[in-house]
Structure 1
Amino acid sequence: MNVLKAVSLWIDKLNTWVGWVVAWVTLGLVLVVFTDVVMRYLFRTSFVFTQELEWHLFAFIFLIGGGYTLLKDGHVRVDIVYQALGFKARAWVNLLGVLLLLIPGCLLIITTSWNFVYKSWAIMEGSPDPGGIPFRFLPKACIPVGFILLLLQGISLGIHSLMQIAGLESPQKDAT
């Protein structure tokens, strides 16, 4: 069990660090959107590069931040039933959800996105629009990377749930 705890701790630390990076990228996105709005409404101009940068950064935030969001229990769920359950029943729901839904779903997306990402990297795909970003392959690479991080965090959640079921870990009082 100590090995499982160590693995889970490492995954949690990894996604905590990733969450810190995503937070700073989010600040960057706010600044880019602010600049775009000022340019559009005050100077009546807009740049394709700026608009594409907005969705590149959003893709990074959304995809890469998924594991951190799961770590902090920030994903949407139907809490009507879940909150009424006891501590061990919640751990069972989490463990079964990880094993039956999260892991297979992540593996499906990771394996099916490899060829898509590989082709984009092979041609160094860029924007088809004049003035656009020449690095479209980068946000596409966030698909498997983000789902690998989510998969890892799902494994950590499964380990925590297993330990809670076995009585080796108490419930987390505050997920934030």
Structure 2
Amino acid sequence: MRQLCDAIDRLNDWVGRLAALLILPSLLITMIEVVARYAFNSPTVWVNESVQILFGFYFLLGGGYTLLHGGHVRVDLLLLGLKPRARRRADVIGLVVTIFYLAVLLWFTGEQALDAITSRERAESPWAPYIFPVLTAAPVAAALMLLQAASLIVRAYVDPAHAVKPDNDVVA
């Protein structure tokens, strides 16, 4: 069971780090737009939507990574006075609620993605890029977060030393 949890952790860590790299092309194409607009008085049609699409991938695919590293918002004030065992139970209850939410999210975003893929959905703009890749990223992200939440629940009982702990560098 630990090997499966380790594999899920590695997957979400890898996907999160890869998603973080999407900031770089976002910055680059934004700089291209600034130069094109102000230096050559020739704004582009595609930059705004491109940045939105890249940020959509970045935001969606970083969810499992953030859950893995304890970066999601928590009400730590309520948990501070609890003993470690009670705190672990509270974490598990929160994760179970999260799993139900993610299962519903996975279902509905999966249906939406399937519709977008079959219809080859495009954005309603002059550039009209395909948007089914971003809509497909939503159920993938929900599945990754669901797997990570399940992994954290298992770890809370099988390996309490590696249960969810907020990172020190995350603002609480």
Q: Give the TM-score taking structure 1 as reference length.
A: 0.85
- Does residue 141 of structure 2 align to residue 146 of structure 1? yes
Shift of 1:158: 0.7
SS in 2 for 1:125: coil
Aligned to 2:102: 106
| SS at structure 2 position matched to 1:170 | helix
- Aligned alpha-carbon RMSD (Å): 2.0
| Contact 1:94-1:157 at 8 Å conserved across structures | no
- Identify if the C-alpha distance between structure 1 residues 151 and 98 changes in structure 2 by more than 3 Å, giving closer, same or farther: same
Q: Is the 8 A contact 2:113 2:135 kept in 1?
A: yes
Letter in 1 for 2:101: G
Whether the aligned pair in 1 keeps the contact of 2:60 and 2:141 (CA below 8 Å) is: yes
Establish whether residue 20 from structure 1 lines up as the match of residue 20 from structure 2. Answer: no
In the TM superposition, residue 174 of structure 1 has moved relative to its aligned partner by 7.0
* 1:171 CA drift (Å): 5.3
Does the Cα contact within 8 Å between 1:63 and 1:142 map onto a contact in 2? yes
User: Which amino acid letter does the alignment assign opposite residue 95 of structure 1?
Assistant: V
Alignment deviations for residues 43-99 of structure 1 (CA, whole Å, 9 cap, x no partner): 444322111111101110111110000011111122211233332222111111111
CA drift of 1:119 comes to 1.2
Unaligned runs of at least 5 residues, structure 2: none
Is the 8 Å Cα contact of residues 47 and 131 (structure 1) preserved in structure 2?
A: no
1: CA distance, partners of 2:17 / 2:127: 31
Matched, 1:60 2:57: yes
Question: Which residue identity lines up with residue 131 of structure 2 in the other structure?
Answer: R
Q: In 1, Cα distance between the equivalents of 2:94 and 2:57?
A: 25
Q: How does 1:153-164 map to 2 (within 5 A)?
A: 153-163=148-158
Contact 2:70–2:166 (Cα < 8 Å) also in 1? no
Q: Sequence identity of aligned pairs in percent?
A: 31
Partners of 1:83 and 1:37 in 2: how far apart?
47
After superposition, give the CA deviation of every residue in 1:24-47 in whole Å (9 maximum; x if it has no partner): 112222222333334334444432
Q: Distance in 1 between matches of 2:40 and 2:78?
A: 52
For structure 1, which runs of at least 5 residues remain unmatched after alignment? none
TM-score (norm 2): 0.87
Q: 1:22 to 1:155 in 2, by over 3 A?
A: same
Q: Mark the CA change 1:83 to 1:144 in structure 2 (over 3 Å): closer, same or farther.
A: same
Describe the shift of the 1:108–1:78 C-alpha distance in structure 2 as closer, same or farther (beyond 3 A).
same
